[in-house]
Chain A
Amino acid sequence: MPTSFDIDLNKLTRHYHLLQKNSHPDRHTQSVETAQRLALQQAMMINEAYHTLRDPLQRAVYLLSLQGIRPDQADSIQDSAFLMEQMALREELVGIPRQADPAAASDHMQNTIQALMTTQLNDLADWFANPSQPSVVCVVVQKLQFLYKLQQEAATLATYLNEA
């Protein structure tokens, strides 16, 4: 497959399955021990690679690292509008259990986060299509990291609401 941000996810999955059909430990139960150990290591690497490439943010971070660009070492975000919005969303998230209909509020929150992420993911794709300054893409990656974290917390809250 080409080293590219814009990849065919179906094709990636086909590659992944093909590789696991070769390397998964279940395919080596009757092999010699050395082969079993290698198969385990390969299967672990393949899972990790698939996991990284399947997710757009992780894929971007990986591709940038190949170019020596490290968003985690770049200057932190200065976009105060974005940061204010994040704080507001966080406060809203914390207040969801006290809402009249927590489940609906939780769904709404998840949709809002999803929409914000889509915008940033489009920016990310644009950068890879027409690369400009590394600092530009670093800001997008950092914003997405904020949003992923927020999404994770929203998902945890949804789990909690499901269990309650």
Chain B
Amino acid sequence: MSRLLQLSEPGATPEPHQHRLVVGIDLGTTHSLVATLRSGVPDTLPDEQGQHLLPSVVRYTTQGPVVGAAARAVATRDPQNTIVSAKRLIGYTAEQLVQHNIGYALDGSDNAMPMLCTVAGLVSPVAVCAEILKSLTERAETTLGGQLTGAVITVPAYFDDAQRQATKDAARLADLPVLRLLNEPTAAALAYGLDRASAGIHAIYDLGGGTFDISILRLHDGVFEVLATGGNTALGGDDFDQVIADWIARHAELASDQAAALRRDLLQQARTAKEVLAEETSVPVQITWTQGSWQGELSRAQLDELIDPLIRQTLRTCRQSLQDAGIDRQAIDEVVLVGGSTRTLRVRARVAEFFGTTPLTDLDPDRVVALGAAIQANSLVDNPTRQDVLLLDVNPLSLGLETIGGLVEKVIPRNTTLPIARAQTFTTAKDGQTALSLHVVQGEREHVADCRSLARFELRGIPPRVAGAARIRVTFAVDADGLLQVSAEEQDSGISTDITVKPSSGLSETAITRLLQDSIAHAAEDMAARQLIEQQVNAQRVLDALHAALADDGETLLDAAERVKVDTALAELQAAAERVREAGELKAAIAALEQACAFYVERRMNTNIRQALAGQSVDDIG
């Protein structure tokens, strides 16, 4: 049920609301999944062939993109047009991608928006992810028989601002409303129902295809608090494959710069060998190329030796996160394993050894994140199940400003609970200075050069004074999705400026619009109809919310005149919702109602806070 507020008594909302179709999507590096709650139980949705995992592979052809298994099957034959692991590419500049040596033909003419060259033309990594999202949305809409209201999409906890923004951009391109970006480890904890335990501290060890995440979560009073997160966005099972492929190449005496097709063959062999070694103690390996072939054997002990340095890296990150959380290893109650790479026995053994406890592995490590995302999606639209889960997440990386000498002044340190707003006062360095350049960066290092640049903007029109006299208050605000807004105000003159950090490597607004126009499958009138339906749903939601609120405390919080004002506004929107046939007009009517009732909403919010505190004191006495 929609409401203005969390009501003090659950169940006090008057009418049952219509069921909204929402899903959780795990947009993974190697494969992706979509899940939803059916009769209160989360489940992943299979495609027509009964496959739950959609390989995160998109092949571009002159007839259009092909997504999933069909694309992966030809990845070796058509490497330039078949994009695998696009998640590893999003949120990076062309320059950074060149450094990573991604193996695709790259158009870096616009450094902020790198493009991959395919037979279907230039394609951005964000658009590749959008194709995967579209495919999953179609699967869900076909299975569930209706249009999706929205999705929770998971991201590695360690994703930075640019990568989060790029993920949201991909959803926009796929025309999929995002309810929330959810950190993968938190989703895993929800899937295991750790939120239903009484209390405890849990570690989520998530080793996927391309990323590693560790999160330390504390559960208390039905609130999930992320104490610390850490990780590596460029370390995963793919790297296991790489070291195994290198081992095969070394023994087959192949040159280190193999052709793309041969490299993919090697990687495929490596992947198979790794999977077999989860069951067997040794595996035959064989590779054929144009001039020859090689045959050999890889033992589990050899595999362990190859991947141990990579596992050690993950455990170092675990140690750091424990330190950030301020707790000892012994304090961890449960360890949850997530990600296909945790099937590797050596990983399980080393993690168990590190934390001194046997990890939970009941749920399929490939599906667990999608299941948790579905639970959270459901809880966000308040479909009537376990809506009591509240997640308090943190920002994974420190946010700061460049100061004199190329040093970073941290404004919001990493692992600060979200949402958060922090302000710091800066001043001018020179006499008569009238503008201040602000450079927003993300990262843990002291020097700007070692951190990630998020945005630059200027505050102009500062009244000229002697150096150090101006007081410029810079405020960083990070919302619950982890996205940042920065504003700057000169205190005496009141001049100000602000910027929503559209990270430098995300897509620009115009680029999104253009891509949207390019990719719009439906005709213009379909779009208009869809937009109208969206606004009609919105209007109904707002009307429901206000009715519920009035039934709850309209009598006590409003005097007669105010009540008339609210009732009139309500009636006006009610009439508009029935009459208006144009989305923009209806949107304006909703905005008018919200404005007319703002005083009431505010009063309710304040009353509610007081009641919450009052309730607590009674508990304490009891």
Contact = CB atoms under 8 A, between A and B. Distances in A.
B417 to A, nearest CB: 5
A30 interface: yes
A159 B609 CA distance: 39
B390 interface: yes
B382 interface: yes
Given A21-B6, A22-B609, A25-B480, A34 B390 contact: no
Interface stretch (A36-44, A70-78, A85-93, A132-140): A36-44
Contacts of A25: 419, 479-480
Contact of A38 (B320, B417, B542, B601): B601
Contact of A26 (B180, B594, B595): B180
A163 to B, nearest CB: 7
Interface stretch (A9-17, A56-64, A120-128): A9-17
Interface string B380-421: 111000000011100000000000000000000000111111
Contacts of B604: 35
Contacts of B609: 19, 22-23, 42
B272 to A, nearest CB: 33
Nearest to A25: B480
Contacts of A48: 420-422
Contact of A29 (B221, B380, B593): B380
A30 B480 contact: no
Contacts of B320: 158-159, 162-163
Interface string B304-324: 000000000000110110010
Contacts of B545: 30-32, 35
B608 interface: yes
Contact of A20 (B392, B421, B608, B620): B392
B602 interface: yes
A125 B220 CA distance: 27
A24 B316 CA distance: 33
Interface in A82-132: none
Interface in B584-622: 591, 593-595, 597-598, 601-602, 604-605, 608-609, 612-613, 615-616, 620
Contacts of B3: 30-31
B6 A11 contact: no
Interface centre among B1, B222, B391, B616 (most CB of A within 10 A): B616
Interface string B467-485: 0000000000101100000
A62 to B, nearest CB: 15
Nearest to A163: B316
B381 A42 contact: no
A142 interface: no
Contacts of B594: 32-34
A67 to B, nearest CB: 23
Contacts of B382: 29-30
Nearest to B444: A159
B126 interface: no
A9 B468 CA distance: 40
B608 A22 contact: yes
B4 interface: yes
Contact of B612 (A18, A32, A39, A159): A18
B428 to A, nearest CB: 21
B602 A27 contact: no
Given A24-B392, A24-B480, A26-B391, A34 B5 contact: no
A44 B180 CA distance: 18
A13 B220 CA distance: 9
B77 to A, nearest CB: 40
Interface string B167-182: 0000000000001100
Given A17-B220, A38-B602, A162-B316, A43 B419 contact: yes
Contacts of A44: 419-421, 477
Contacts of A24: 390, 392, 480
A158 B608 contact: no
A18 B613 CA distance: 8
Contacts of A163: 316, 320
B341 interface: no
Given A20-B223, A32-B601, A38-B605, A26 B4 contact: no
B155 interface: no
Contact of B4 (A15, A20, A35, A162): A35
A158 B616 contact: no
A114 B613 CA distance: 34
B541 interface: yes
B163 interface: no
B546 interface: yes
A158 B220 CA distance: 29
B2 interface: yes
A42 B612 contact: no
A26 B609 CA distance: 16
A19 B615 CA distance: 11
Nearest to A103: B319
A50 B420 CA distance: 11
B181 to A, nearest CB: 12
A155 interface: yes
Given A32-B597, A163-B316, A20 B390 contact: yes
A159 B479 CA distance: 27
Given A27-B390, A44-B420, A14 B616 contact: yes
Contacts of A159: 320, 323, 444
A47 to B, nearest CB: 5
Contacts of B179: 29
B323 A155 contact: yes
Interface string A153-164: 001101100110
Contacts of B6: 21-22, 27-28
A30 B546 CA distance: 11
B480 A26 contact: yes
A31 B5 contact: yes
Interface string B533-565: 000000001100110000000000000000000
Interface of A: 11, 13-15, 17-35, 38-40, 42-44, 47-48, 50-51, 155-156, 158-159, 162-163
Interface of B: 1-6, 179-180, 220-223, 316-317, 319-320, 323, 379-382, 390-392, 416-422, 444, 477, 479-480, 541-542, 545-546, 591, 593-595, 597-598, 601-602, 604-605, 608-609, 612-613, 615-616, 620
6 contacts: A17-B223, A19-B612, A26-B379, A47-B420, A156-B444, A162-B319
Q: Which 7 A-B pairs have the closest CB atoms?
A: A30-B2, A17-B223, A44-B421, A17-B221, A34-B601, A162-B320, A34-B598
Given A42-B605, A163-B316, 19 more contacts: A15-B613, A15-B616, A17-B223, A17-B390, A18-B612, A18-B615, A27-B390, A30-B382, A32-B545, A32-B546, A32-B594, A34-B601, A35-B545, A38-B601, A40-B419, A40-B480, A44-B420, A47-B420, A48-B421
